[in-house]
Amino acid sequence: MRKLSFEGSSFAGKTTMSRELVGMNPDRYKLINEYVVYAGGSEKFPPYPPKNKEEALKNLEFFMNLERKRHEDMQQYKEKPYVMVMDRSVISLLGFRFVQKYFEGIDIFEETKAVLAQEKDLAPDLVVYMAVGDEAIKQRRELSQRKVGELFVDPEFNKHLRHFFDWLIGQKQYPIVTVDTEKPFEQVKTELMAIADGIDVNL
């Protein structure tokens, strides 16, 4: 079993491409439900951004618990040759704390890194950062029926999120590949399929 995580801004195409990938080859790929499914609906999510550091730490623990549950469900595939496809992972948890630090001034970034360092088994084996610009986010939102909080389409928020991925790539701590999702849909799908098909599930 190997874990592949799609990361990036809202409307980058994470959910769409996750489902496309699994639908094209269900004998190799297994889709892991998103946080919203494990929480029982987005209304169950704690407030974001948090109002203070205490609330921020509770927010982090809430999502860490969801991630632990996701991994418990993956254990049935542990010794099998599957790629587990994840729409967001602990990388998003780290990214949102990075943004929170600069966007809201509530800094638990080092605490979040420490938590992830203690639970390395929750990290994906490969991260695909799905890059998308503000104009494309705006256009896709207008065409979508999906409800997303204003914060997550705010250009300033997404500027800091892009800075996070620049930082993450520079750290070389996680294997990460960037895909420009503003390319034509079929081209993006082909690129992602090639990346995913290159994952050796027998290692």
pTM equals: 0.94
The DSSP bridge pattern shows strands 29-32 and 176-180 to be unpaired
The identity of residue 145, as a single letter, is: Q
Q: What distances in angstroms separate CA 188 from CA 73, 96, 114, 177, one per listed residue?
A: 29, 25, 34, 13
For 165, the token pair is: 């991925």
CA atoms within 13 A on the CB side of 196: 31
The CA distance from 32 to 3, in Å, is: 10
The CA distance from 142 to 136, in Å, is: 10
146 C-beta neighbours (distance < 10 Å), count: 10
The CA distance from 198 to 87, in Å, is: 19
pLDDT tens, position by position, 21-33: 999 999 999 999 9
Domains of the chain: 2-197 (3.40.50.300)
Say if residues 151 and 9 touch (Cβ distance below 8 Å). Answer: no
- Given a cut of 60, is residue 18 above it in pLDDT? yes
pLDDT tens, position by position, 152-194: 999 999 999 999 999 999 999 999 999 999 999 999 999 999 9
The CA distance from 38 to 70, in Å, is: 8
